[in-house]
Amino acid sequence: MSKEKASAIIQTEISPLIKDYNGEGKNVILAVTGTSGAVYGLRMLRALLINDFNVDLILSEYAIYTMYKECGIEIKQSNITSLFPEILLLKSTITFHNNLDLKSEIFTNKYVCSGMIVSPCSMGVLAGIANGECKNLIEKSADYAFSYSRPLIIVPRETPVNKIHLENMLRILDSGGKLVPAMPSFEYNPKDFNDLADHIAGKVLDLLNKSNSSPA
């Protein structure tokens, strides 16, 4: 992808495709896997940050590679404000976690999780979550969300799907998780990749908000 296309992907104009939510003080785990569609992870991160959520970010090993290959971005703690300049005026925080750290502070009693999002999600990671494998931090965090009845929203992106994929998706739904497949709408005449990804990010935030506002 050319530098011109990459710069178009990370532009951060406020989009009406994402509603305003009060995320201040709420911790949300965002996991990004290495499947194609890194822009879905970037725009999901932006959507959380501009709504003042505290984001605990887990990047799989291949997510780092895919972000660079598709978007020309190497996301680090030091360049977050240059990628998303609007967060300078907001109250959100972002904490990076190693996907191999199975002793993460995410699992301590002091950490209160308001939900977990996996966007985009590869079918391999989806299978690990559906089967409770817990072999890395993404899978273990999803298992933790199930165990404590926290919202878990997954954005599967790969296509075509086969019967194994569908069975794994059903397992996640049966366990209380939600699925928002990366199937953006075109009825609002999107102008670029940002709009397509923001549409999905908006759907995820809608579900997250409803889950957190529902009676226990």
Q: Say if 197 falls within a structural domain.
A: yes
Q: Say if 6 falls within a structural domain.
A: no
Q: Say if 187 falls within a structural domain.
A: yes
Q: Say if 181 falls within a structural domain.
A: yes
pLDDT digits (tens, 9 = 90+) for 143-192: 999 999 999 999 999 999 999 999 999 999 999 999 999 999 898 889 99
Least reliable range by pLDDT among 16-30, 170-184, 188-202? 16-30
Mean pLDDT value across the chain: 89
Supply the DSSP symbol for 58: E
CATH number of the domain that residue 125 is part of: 3.40.50.1950
Q: Say if 53 falls within a structural domain.
A: yes
C-alpha distance from residue 162 to each of 50, 52, 130, 158, 169 (Å): 36, 38, 15, 10, 11
Q: Say if 5 falls within a structural domain.
A: no
Q: Write the single-letter amino acid at 107.
A: F
Listed in sequence order, the DSSP H helices in the chain are: 3-10, 38-50, 61-71, 80-83, 123-130, 137-147, 163-174, 193-213
Least reliable range by pLDDT among 4-13, 50-59, 187-196? 4-13
Q: Say if 173 falls within a structural domain.
A: yes
How many structural domains comprise the chain? 1
Residue-number span of the structural domain to which 44 is assigned: 27-210
pLDDT digits (tens, 9 = 90+) for 97-153: 999 999 999 988 889 999 999 999 999 999 999 999 999 999 999 999 999 999 999
Contact 208, 151 (CB under 8 A): yes
Q: Say if 93 falls within a structural domain.
A: yes
Q: Which pTM value belongs to this model?
A: 0.90
